[in-house]
A = this chain, B = another copy of it.
Amino acid sequence: MKDIFDKDHEAFGPNNSGLLDLRFGNADFLANYWLRYDPKSPRFLYGDTNLGYAHAFPNADLKQVILALHDRIKNAVTKDRHVVVGVGASQVLQAALYAAKRRGTRHVIARAPYFPRFRHFSEIVGLQFNADTALLRDLEIVSIPNNPDNSFVKPQIKNYIADCCYNWPQYKDVELRDDDVMVFSLSKATGHASTRIGWALVKDAAFAEDMMKYIEVQSCGVSVEALGVTKQILTNQSQIDNSFTIFKNGSDKLKNRWEKIRLAFSGLAGVQLLNDDGMFLWGKTDGDSTDYFKNLGILSVNGDYFGMNDRNHFRLNIGTDVDSFLKLIEIINAKKRATTKS
C-alpha cells in the first residue's frame, strides 16, 4: 500500500519525461545574482552549485568514489550494490528502519551492549525497540565491529541491518562484509564527523529507493557542501599510496595508544578492561563506574546507556584528541601512585 512517502515521491520524485518541470520551489531566479555579484568569491560559496534542490542528492560520481574506496579497503562487497547517502549514519539508519517497516517490521532488537541510539532511531520511525516478549523479533541491528566493545558479533536473526561504521582498519582488521544493508559514516572512516555524511550499501533496489524517499522528505537531501567535501576526501584516500592513508596512520596511532592504555591500567585495582582495541575502552569497575571516573575528573558513559542494566560497565573514548588522551594516561598513572602509596 502506498504511504505518504510514496505519494510525495510520485508528486516530486525524479521525472524523465523531458517536460518543463515547474513542480518545485527552487528559487533559481536568484542564480544570476550570485554568479555576477563577486567573481572573485569561490564559486563553491556563491556560485550556482548550491542553488535549487537538485544538488542536495549524491550524484553518480560520488557513489563511484564511495564504491572505489570500499574496493580498496576490502571492508564491503560492492558488486551490484546501491549507494544511499544521508545526513550521517544516523539518518541512513532511520531510512533503513523505515524501509524495513514498509516490509512488515514492527519490532527491532539489538543485543547489549549496543549503540543506544538504535532505540531512538527505531522509535523515531515508529518501531518498538527490544520489546519484552522474546517473540517480537522482526529485525536486528548489529554493529560490526560492535560499539562499545569492538567485538565481532553475529546477528541472531536473519533479517538485520549491519552498522559497519567501525569496520575500518583503524579500529580492527576489517571483515569483507556482504550484508544486505551495510551502513557507514565519514565520521568513523576519516574523522570528519561534523561534515555529517553517512551512506549505506544496499543489495535490494526497491529497499534503497524507499530509503531515499525517507531522506527526501525528512531533510530534502543532504548538504551539497558536505557532499563535495566528502567526494574530495574519499577521492584523495582512494588514490594515495596505501602507506599514507588515514587508515594506515589511524591504525598505527590507535595501536600505540592501546599499548599506553594497557600499561597505565595494568595493576590498577578495581578496574577491569574488557577489550584491547577499537575506538573505545570498554571495561568494568567494582562499583558505579560513572562515580569512579568522575572522582578522577573524567566523564564517561556507563553500561546502563548501552542496555546493560548496570552502572559498572563503562565506555571511554581512546580515539579522542591527543591532549585528552595524554591527560587520561596521566590521571590513571597518578591514581595508581596514590593507591600504591596509601
Which residues of A come within 8 Å of B, CB atoms?
4-5, 8, 11-12, 15, 17, 19-34, 37, 44-46, 49-56, 87-88, 90-91, 94, 116-117, 119-120, 123-126, 147, 170, 187-188, 190-197, 217-226, 228-229, 232-233, 236, 244, 246, 249-250, 253-254, 257, 279-280, 294, 297-301, 305, 315-322, 324-325, 327-328, 331
> Does the CB pair A297–B328 fall under 8 Å?
no
Q: What are 22 A-B interface contacts by the 8 Å CB criterion?
A: A11-B116, A11-B301, A12-B301, A15-B299, A20-B299, A23-B301, A27-B250, A29-B253, A29-B325, A33-B250, A49-B194, A50-B195, A52-B191, A87-B87, A88-B220, A94-B218, A117-B217, A124-B217, A195-B223, A195-B225, A196-B224, A219-B219
Partner of A319, one of B28, B90, B317: B28
Residues of B within 8 A of A33 (CB): 191, 246, 249-250
- Give A231 to B250 CA distance when docked, in angstroms: 32
Quick one: given A15-B299, A324-B22, are A196 and B218 in contact (CB under 8 Å)?
A: no
CB distance from A57 to the nearest CB of B (A): 9
Residues of B within 8 A of A21 (CB): 299, 324
Residues of B within 8 A of A4 (CB): 119-120, 123
Residues of B within 8 A of A193 (CB): 26-27, 50-53, 56, 220
Partner of A30, one of B147, B250, B328: B250
> Does the CB pair A25–B188 fall under 8 Å?
yes
Partner of A196, one of B8, B25, B56, B217: B56
> Does the CB pair B192–A229 fall under 8 Å?
no
> Does the CB pair A232–B321 fall under 8 Å?
no
CB distance from A323 to the nearest CB of B (A): 9
Q: Which of A19, A192, A331 neighbours the largest number of chain B CB atoms within 10 Å of its CB?
A: A192
A4-B123, A24-B317, A87-B87 are known contacts; what are 13 more A-B pairs with Cβ within 8 Å? A19-B294, A25-B187, A26-B317, A33-B246, A45-B232, A50-B229, A52-B191, A53-B194, A88-B219, A194-B224, A196-B220, A196-B221, A196-B224
- Give A232 to B45 CA distance when docked, in angstroms: 8
Residues of B within 8 A of A223 (CB): 87, 194-197, 222-223, 225-226
- Which residue on B lies nearest to A191, using beta carbons? B30
- Give A252 to B20 CA distance when docked, in angstroms: 24
> Does the CB pair A17–B299 fall under 8 Å?
yes
- Give A228 to B316 CA distance when docked, in angstroms: 31
Partner of A194, one of B12, B55, B94, B188: B55
Residues of B within 8 A of A123 (CB): 4
Q: Which of A22, A192, A320 neighbours the largest number of chain B CB atoms within 10 Å of its CB?
A: A22
Residues of B within 8 A of A12 (CB): 301
> Does the CB pair B29–A320 fall under 8 Å?
yes
> Does the CB pair B279–A327 fall under 8 Å?
no
- Give A194 to B47 CA distance when docked, in angstroms: 12
Residues of B within 8 A of A56 (CB): 193-194, 196
Residues of B within 8 A of A317 (CB): 22-26
> Does the CB pair B19–A298 fall under 8 Å?
yes
CB distance from A51 to the nearest CB of B (A): 5
Residues of B within 8 A of A23 (CB): 299-301, 315, 317
- Which residue on B lies nearest to A327, using beta carbons? B20
